[in-house]
Amino acid sequence: MELSNTTQYAIRMLSYIANSHGKLQNAKELSTILTIPYKFLTKILTQLVKSEFIISIRGREGGYKLAKPASEIMVLDILNQFGDIVKENQCILGIGTCDSENKCSLHDQWVIPKEMMIKMFAQTSLENLEGDEFKI
Amino acid sequence: MELSNTTQYAIRMLSYIANSHGKLQNAKELSTILTIPYKFLTKILTQLVKSEFIISIRGREGGYKLAKPASEIMVLDILNQFGDIVKENQCILGIGTCDSENKCSLHDQWVIPKEMMIKMFAQTSLENLEGDEFKI
DNA sequence: TCTTAATACTACCTTTTAGTAGTATTTAAT
DNA sequence: ATTAAATACTACTAAAAGGTAGTATTAAGA
């Protein structure tokens, strides 16, 4: 019941980039600051560029910055991008899809916590994660 | 953000065995009824025996049944047994452990959903999953 | 124009999770 | 005793996730 390493890394990178308010950040520094293996980090950054969370400036003095305002990038979007799915009708026991008509034995207990989780991820943007008091 | 296949299978198996109220269930039938690959299912059953969720009767006419009352087997115990951890101080971004003193940027948003999830898993027993109206 | 510091691409290696195969052991029924 | 039907054990294979290596491309600065 955890986010994948890739998703965790992606959120932390985006969060840090958001906190730089437009100043370009390069992969080498991000790797050092966030203690994420350089080569793995660049791989994820490239995915984030392709999925249009960030834009990259190539060449010397290049780096990365957000492609849109931090307030418009929701944590749920990041989860979806990296396959860490939390869907409304997802069955917690993996028996197809679940709803009130056709449910697994854990469905009723799972409804409320699931709703809260989804709501939280859907309503939280990178802007909400800004601040210097947090671990990075 | 899902349970592992193994955990999902384990819950479904235990749930089905609980619903048999003491009647022995054998692996072959369980595999057919729950559509879980036979060899993988027996591997998990053996783990469930070792971790004392169920007891096995070997030999012809053998099978499996719960080792204790369904009301005493909590879903959280099953999750713990199979490494699908949901811990109080677990950091959702994977930066060590999180608490109100030392927190990641998602910590505050995560507190409530996490609590609800843990509480639900901790309070739900196999007895609560009984019933014939559910997918199996 | 050459160098250097940056991102991008392709391919590979490692670890974990999921699943399979075959054989040994146990025990009730005949 | 023998057979058949069940669990247990050991070892392997396959797929997915995590991570690494090397080279190509880009562009600012000397």
Q: How many domains does chain A have?
A: 1
Judge if the beta carbon of B53 is closer than 7 A to nucleic acid strand D.
Answer: no
Region A2-24: mean pLDDT is 98
* Closest nucleotide relative to residue A82's CA, C1' based: D17
Query: Is the predicted pLDDT of residue A85 greater than 90, yes or no?
Result: no
SS3 B72: helix
Q: Over range B81-95, report the average pLDDT.
A: 95
| Cβ-contact A86, A77 below 8 angstroms | no
Contacts of A135 in chain B (CB under 8 A): 91, 93, 95-96, 98, 102-105
pLDDT averaged over every residue in chain B: 97
Establish if B104 belongs to a structural domain: yes
- Decide if B81 is inside a domain: yes
Domain membership of residue B136 (yes or no) is no
Q: Domain residues for A121?
A: 5-128
- The nearest alpha carbon in chain A to B108 belongs to A129
Residue B21 DSSP code: T
CATH number for the domain harbouring residue B125 = 1.10.10.10
User: Is the C-beta atom of A64 closer than 7 angstroms to strand C?
Assistant: yes
Whether the CB of A134 is below 8 Å from some CB of chain B: the reply is yes
Q: What percentage of chain A exceeds 90 in pLDDT?
A: 99
B13-43 per-position pLDDT tens digit: 999 999 999 999 999 999 999 999 999 999 9
pLDDT, mean over chain A: 97
Residue A82 in domain: yes
Please state the rounded mean pLDDT for residues A36-55. 98
Closest nt to residue B9, judged CA to C1': C18
pLDDT tens by residue, A91-110: 999 999 999 999 999 999 99
In a domain, A52, yes or no: yes
In a domain, A133, yes or no: no
Residue B135, domain member (yes or no): no
CA distances from A61 to A58, A66, B48 (A): 8, 16, 57
Q: How far is CA A57 from CA A26, A61, B26, B82, in A?
A: 9, 8, 61, 44
Look at residue A134 and tell me if it is in a domain: no
A107 at interface of B, judged by CB pairs closer than 8 A: yes
3-state secondary structure A58-101: CCCCCEEEECCCHHHCEHHHHHHHCCCCCCCCECCCCCCECCCC
Closest CB to A120: pick one of B98, B104, B113: B113
Exposed e or buried b per residue across A15-30, where buried means at least 16 C-beta atoms within 10 angstroms of its C-beta:
bbbbbeeeeebebeeb
What is the structure's pLDDT at A59?
98
